[in-house]
Structure 1
Amino acid sequence: MHLYGRTYKIKGALFHPDILVIGDQVVLRDILGKEAYSYEVKSPISRTLVERVIGRGLVWAEGDVHKRQRHELAPFFTFSAQAVRNMFNNVSTCTNIGVENLESHIINNANDPKQGLTVNIMESTESVTLDITGRFVLNYDFESGKSHIAKFFKETWKKQCSVSLYWTSVLGHVIIRAFPFIAHLPIPTLEAQLAVKKALRDIAQTAANQTVNEGQEKDLLTTMVRVRYGAPEMSSTIMYVLSTLRSISRRTMINKPDYQVCTIAFTSQDTTAGTLTFALHQLAMHPKYQSRLRDEIIQLGREPTYDDLMSRMPWLDAITMEILRLRPIGPHIERVAAEHTVLRFGNRVQTSDGAEISEVAIKAGQTIIIPIMAMNRLKSVWGDDADDFNPERWLDPARLEHVDRKFGWNGMLTFSDGPRQCIGYRMALLIFKTALAAYIRKLEFHDTGAVIHARFVGTLQPYIASEEEKGTQMPLRVTLVNESGVDPAY
């Protein structure tokens, strides 16, 4: 965007039409808002790949099917404030256990406790968010990432992401776009995707056979039923949920109701873990902001409450918004025109021959890329330091004078916008803030000097430059806040 402006086109590969890259807010309000269902969210091949990983759930759905599925799933994320507070206890418990596990690992393995221990922090963040997802969504215990199925899930996903780090994976996607039938062949990487889906479906079925404590609305599925469907008294509310989802499936053409459970579990776990990993890395590289956040937490004089985390901690808010701006876990999204249409720009666009145009015709089937990360780093909007991690920008209204806070979420499309906005973004913010505060309260994170790059492999994933063969990783040196490992405020 710095070179070509907010709107430009790139040549389509292997018989495909040109792809439009659009960052014009006027056009995007139409594409993501009032004309949202005139565009498909994914190309046919992307839908095929999504179906292989998590099935025909909300992420896969298009058009009327998506409308119905979102309507049925809305109660998951629109329950009462009291229900959210009840869920917060589970989230807090999981994060505290995860942090304590990391503390113990450092104490037991560091040669010098003062120097701490270098760890791949992804292993901890993924365990924490997987544990939260299990309890929050399924009332299922992943044993802090230590259970057999938790290890299988993490290892399979890591292998899949690691394979995608190589440049050959880009060529693979181009070939699959041209020859979609390849996606159905028994290729190892694609078979790994099927293994992930099967593991998630097994978890959903296991959850259906577990007992939920009566009267407690601490997991997402229980709350959905209590609030939306008025679940009867029964030994397992999860059983009632899946029964309800089976009824929904007959009305919404979902082949397997477990796919919605898979969708929620997969998207909430991976995306939040990635954002948390990048946040800890940025705080390790910017110790002054890490210290300010820790001071804010310590000054509470107690463990943060739900209200503290969500509305009473300005530094936590600023750091949260800044990492979601700088490192959106989905750096771009695509839309595919379902019909011939004309896009009308808010600002005139200069073509390669020097002419200026105010609109452009696109054909049905043509792909549009919305470059979220690039838009989040526009210097004309965010200032000359748009590429830098600087949470202070969110504490100074004058620095946000060019940011339209009503566009997307806080002026960003990190959670998309409109009818297809991330349905679980409030849940993601709750988990992220709770986990980040728990880590920073007890542990200090230090940069190791490793050059970290990020690549989009379904979600944004970190790796060490020139070490793609080692797969996704984020090495950080971790020390205890003090020698006893106990926060001075406690």
Structure 2
Amino acid sequence: MPTPSDIPLAPVRSVNAFDAACILAALWALVRVLRVARWRMKTTRLRGPPSTSIIYGVSRDIIVSTNTNAMYERWAEEYGVAYVIPTVLGSSAIVLCDPKAIAHFYARETWTYVLTPFASRLLKGVIGSGLLWVEGETHRRQRKSLTPAFSHAAIRQLTSVFYDSSYKAKSAWDAAIESSKEGTAVIEVQNWMNHVALDTIGIAGFSHDFGSLDGKHSVVTEVLDNFRGNPKASALNRFVFLLAQVFPVIAKTPTHRRKLIDKLNVAMGEISNDLLIRSRREKDMNVSDTDVGKSIMELLISAEDQDAELYLSNEEALSQIKVLLLAGYETTSITLTWALIELSQHPNVQARLREELLVFGPDPTYDQLKANLLYLDAVVHEILRLHPAVPEFTRIAAADDVIPLSEPVCTASGKMTESISVAKGTFISIPAASINCSTAIWGPDAKQFKPDRWLTEEGISGKAKEVQGHRHLLTFVDGPRTCIGKDFAIIEIKIVLSVLVKHFVFELRAPETRVKILRGILPRPRIVGENGFGVPLRIRRHE
């Protein structure tokens, strides 16, 4: 007769494990149901577009659309300045298109409205615990530690760096035109704007020359370029990206894009660590550069002191370098590329801008760039209006809130309301690019490239004046997360354009040229019909 010790225990353990799994699944389902019930009770039920997919809602439509701005604007016209869109697997997001509601939202960002779990995981993996990732008090401390590097006085000292990069590009283009029998050259300007932006942020921010304009290979550029132009991987990437909105852990799926993110993280980490080590060594040797009195790197080194008021850990310091390298490179090069495209498409604007620059004469100083060249300022801000580097922002409510509206909207039950209640866990989206060119906000000419709108008080419509971002734009967002490098970027863009437009004439290669958006880390322009992601323009010297 078998003894109790002879009876196999595996089946018992298996049943227990199964029971435990069932209990956990039931608890998860119960918590989910209770959360949904609470959300429904505390959140204003708004109207919105119907779902076009059981799995994706309208999320896939937004991603694949060739004119996402028009979709958001059409929905706002039909459902009001606040509406709800169905997203992945039955989730939803409230979309705000109302200046008053958006101002309320941005004033509470990093506290009431925070990164979504997916965005948090993605940013943490690429840039670490830097300024783009942290929230609340930690965000305030990190931002305050970096603010002196982006003051007017600090940027004023960096104008020579911006000019050096611009003139390096000019010299290379002169050589290309000189070697051409036709007196013109077809130049892939997006690649060159990448070089200008990377070398500029390297020298201005970290006293490090990547040498991109001199032909040196850059791992950062290589990896970022690989994010674009991968049609075979795009379907899987899109599927993983959308599902990861609900299940962030899916973002770890080893897709081609995931591997590129990992490679980018390694490359950025190595570069950041090298910059930090070199700067510490120079500090110990009492080596300083008087031309960059308050460089970003010096501030990071100073903040590593345990006794510093705004102390940054080693991990935080490395993360700030990653943030500023990525943000200072990608966003600026995209904006400069769009600027050259728009000027090529509007030769009258290009000629008027060139005339202002030539009449002014020598290279303008920092203060002259801010105060004297009004048409240059108008052109730059019209580019920023029509082509924000980040077209949309989505956050999640970390606490219950009530968002005021400037005009009432009709709820799903047919009642009118001048405010909407949102429960903790609600997703909120701000379609910045759509709002920047909304006819309801900017008037009937909102879609036109029209720099003159910035030259008179009447050029900005009354509704647009209610938008509280920089110059009534959401390009640099608003509130605690307003882009810390805003003034740095604007002056760099102005200097690059002032040098290039004064010396060259830009033209499209063909009148029928069309431009499309290619998604990478951020959306970039691409000429339809061109291989890869280049933006070739025909360039000749201005005589």
State the shift of 1:239 in Å: 7.5
Instruction: Pick one of 494, 513, 521 that aligns with 1:450.
Output: 513
2:378 touches 2:452 (CA, 8 Å); kept in 1? Answer: yes
Q: How do 1:258-269 residues align onto structure 2 when only pairs under 5 Å count?
A: 258-269=318-329
1:256-310 deviation line (CA, Å, top 9, x unaligned): 5211111111101110110010011000000011011111111122222222222
Instruction: Pick one of 362, 373, 376 that aligns with 1:313.
Output: 373
Residue-pair matches, total = 458
CA distance in structure 2 between the aligned counterparts of 1:241 and 1:31, rounded to whole angstroms: 30
Q: Give the aligned partner of residue 29 of structure 1.
A: 103
1:194-248 deviation line (CA, Å, top 9, x unaligned): 22232223223333426599564444xx5158xxxxxxxxxxxx57843633747
C-alpha change, 1:350 and 1:458, in structure 2 (3 Å) is farther
CA distance in structure 2 between the aligned counterparts of 1:380 and 1:406, rounded to whole angstroms: 12
1:138 aligns to 2:196 (yes or no): no
State the shift of 1:360 in Å: 2.4
Q: Give the aligned partner of residue 230 of structure 1.
A: none
CA distance in structure 1 between the aligned counterparts of 2:198 and 2:452, rounded to whole angstroms: 31
CA distance in structure 2 between the aligned counterparts of 1:313 and 1:175, rounded to whole angstroms: 48
C-alpha change, 1:195 and 1:341, in structure 2 (3 Å) is same
C-alpha change, 1:15 and 1:218, in structure 2 (3 Å) is farther
Q: Give the aligned partner of residue 229 of structure 2.
A: 162
CA distance in structure 2 between the aligned counterparts of 1:240 and 1:380, rounded to whole angstroms: 44
**Farther-moved stretch of structure 1 (243-252 vs 316-325):** 243-252
Structure 2 counterpart of 1:450, which letter? Answer: T
Instruction: Pick one of 191, 195, 198 that aligns with 2:266.
Output: 198
CA distance in structure 2 between the aligned counterparts of 1:65 and 1:416, rounded to whole angstroms: 19
Q: Give the aligned partner of residue 13 of structure 1.
A: 88
2:205 touches 2:295 (CA, 8 Å); kept in 1? Answer: no
**TM-score, normalisation: structure 2:** 0.78
Q: Give the aligned partner of residue 333 of structure 2.
A: 273
Match of 1:29, SS state, is helix
1:40 touches 1:62 (CA, 8 Å); kept in 2? Answer: no
RMSD: 2.6
Q: How do 1:164-183 residues align onto structure 2 when only pairs under 5 Å count?
A: 166=234, 168-183=236-251
CA distance in structure 2 between the aligned counterparts of 1:256 and 1:38, rounded to whole angstroms: 20
2:109 touches 2:479 (CA, 8 Å); kept in 1? Answer: yes
Structure 1 counterpart of 2:138, which letter? Answer: V
Match of 1:223, SS state, is coil
1:107 aligns to 2:178 (yes or no): yes
CA distance in structure 2 between the aligned counterparts of 1:214 and 1:163, rounded to whole angstroms: 45
CA distance in structure 1 between the aligned counterparts of 2:478 and 2:458, rounded to whole angstroms: 25
Q: Give the aligned partner of residue 52 of structure 2.
A: none
Q: How do 1:256-405 residues align onto structure 2 when only pairs under 5 Å count?
A: 256-351=316-411, 354-402=414-462, 403-404=464-465
Q: Give the aligned partner of residue 59 of structure 1.
A: 132
Structure 2 counterpart of 1:156, which letter? Answer: V
Structure 2 counterpart of 1:426, which letter? Answer: D
C-alpha change, 1:271 and 1:139, in structure 2 (3 Å) is same
Q: Give the aligned partner of residue 189 of structure 2.
A: 121
Q: Give the aligned partner of residue 232 of structure 1.
A: none
Mark the runs of 5 or more structure 1 residues left unpaired by the alignment.
226-237, 483-490
CA distance in structure 2 between the aligned counterparts of 1:302 and 1:397, rounded to whole angstroms: 29
Q: Give the aligned partner of residue 92 of structure 1.
A: 163
Instruction: Pick one of 49, 57, 74 that aligns with 1:3.
Output: 74
State the shift of 1:319 in Å: 0.2
1:338 touches 1:364 (CA, 8 Å); kept in 2? Answer: yes
CA distance in structure 2 between the aligned counterparts of 1:361 and 1:396, rounded to whole angstroms: 38
After the TM superposition, which segments of 4 or more aligned residues of structure 1 sit over 6 Å from their partners? none
State the shift of 1:41 in Å: 3.7
Instruction: Pick one of 209, 212, 216 that aligns with 2:278.
Output: 209
Instruction: Pick one of 244, 262, 265 that aligns with 2:303.
Output: 244
Q: Give the aligned partner of residue 540 of structure 2.
A: 479
CA distance in structure 1 between the aligned counterparts of 2:86 and 2:109, rounded to whole angstroms: 25
Structure 2 counterpart of 1:361, which letter? Answer: S
Match of 1:2, SS state, is helix
**Farther-moved stretch of structure 1 (347-356 vs 277-286):** 347-356
State the shift of 1:479 in Å: 1.3
Match of 1:103, SS state, is helix
CA distance in structure 1 between the aligned counterparts of 2:478 and 2:466, rounded to whole angstroms: 12
Q: Give the aligned partner of residue 37 of structure 2.
A: none
C-alpha change, 1:54 and 1:103, in structure 2 (3 Å) is farther
2:147 touches 2:484 (CA, 8 Å); kept in 1? Answer: yes
Match of 1:477, SS state, is strand
Structure 1 counterpart of 2:325, which letter? Answer: A
C-alpha change, 1:191 and 1:69, in structure 2 (3 Å) is same
**Farther-moved stretch of structure 1 (375-384 vs 284-293):** 375-384
CA distance in structure 1 between the aligned counterparts of 2:384 and 2:192, rounded to whole angstroms: 20
State the shift of 1:64 in Å: 2.1
State the shift of 1:414 in Å: 0.9
Structure 1 counterpart of 2:208, which letter? Answer: Y
**TM-score, normalisation: structure 1:** 0.86
Match of 1:142, SS state, is coil
Structure 2 counterpart of 1:11, which letter? Answer: P
CA distance in structure 1 between the aligned counterparts of 2:237 and 2:251, rounded to whole angstroms: 13
1:32 touches 1:418 (CA, 8 Å); kept in 2? Answer: yes
1:447 touches 1:476 (CA, 8 Å); kept in 2? Answer: yes
CA distance in structure 2 between the aligned counterparts of 1:68 and 1:197, rounded to whole angstroms: 24
Mark the runs of 5 or more structure 2 residues left unpaired by the alignment.
1-71
Match of 1:106, SS state, is helix
Match of 2:391, SS state, is coil
Instruction: Pick one of 144, 169, 185 that aligns with 1:71.
Output: 144
Match of 2:158, SS state, is helix
**Farther-moved stretch of structure 1 (340-349 vs 124-133):** 340-349
1:445 touches 1:477 (CA, 8 Å); kept in 2? Answer: yes
**Farther-moved stretch of structure 1 (325-334 vs 471-480):** 471-480
CA distance in structure 2 between the aligned counterparts of 1:40 and 1:99, rounded to whole angstroms: 44
When Rg is computed on C-alpha atoms for both structures, the one with the higher figure is 2
Q: Give the aligned partner of residue 228 of structure 1.
A: none
1:136 touches 1:218 (CA, 8 Å); kept in 2? Answer: no
1:141-168 deviation line (CA, Å, top 9, x unaligned): 1124445452x22121011133389455
**Farther-moved stretch of structure 1 (49-58 vs 273-282):** 49-58
1:39 touches 1:338 (CA, 8 Å); kept in 2? Answer: yes
Q: Give the aligned partner of residue 487 of structure 1.
A: none
CA distance in structure 2 between the aligned counterparts of 1:52 and 1:223, rounded to whole angstroms: 29
Give the % identical residues: 26
Match of 2:472, SS state, is coil
1:417 aligns to 2:478 (yes or no): yes
C-alpha change, 1:471 and 1:182, in structure 2 (3 Å) is farther
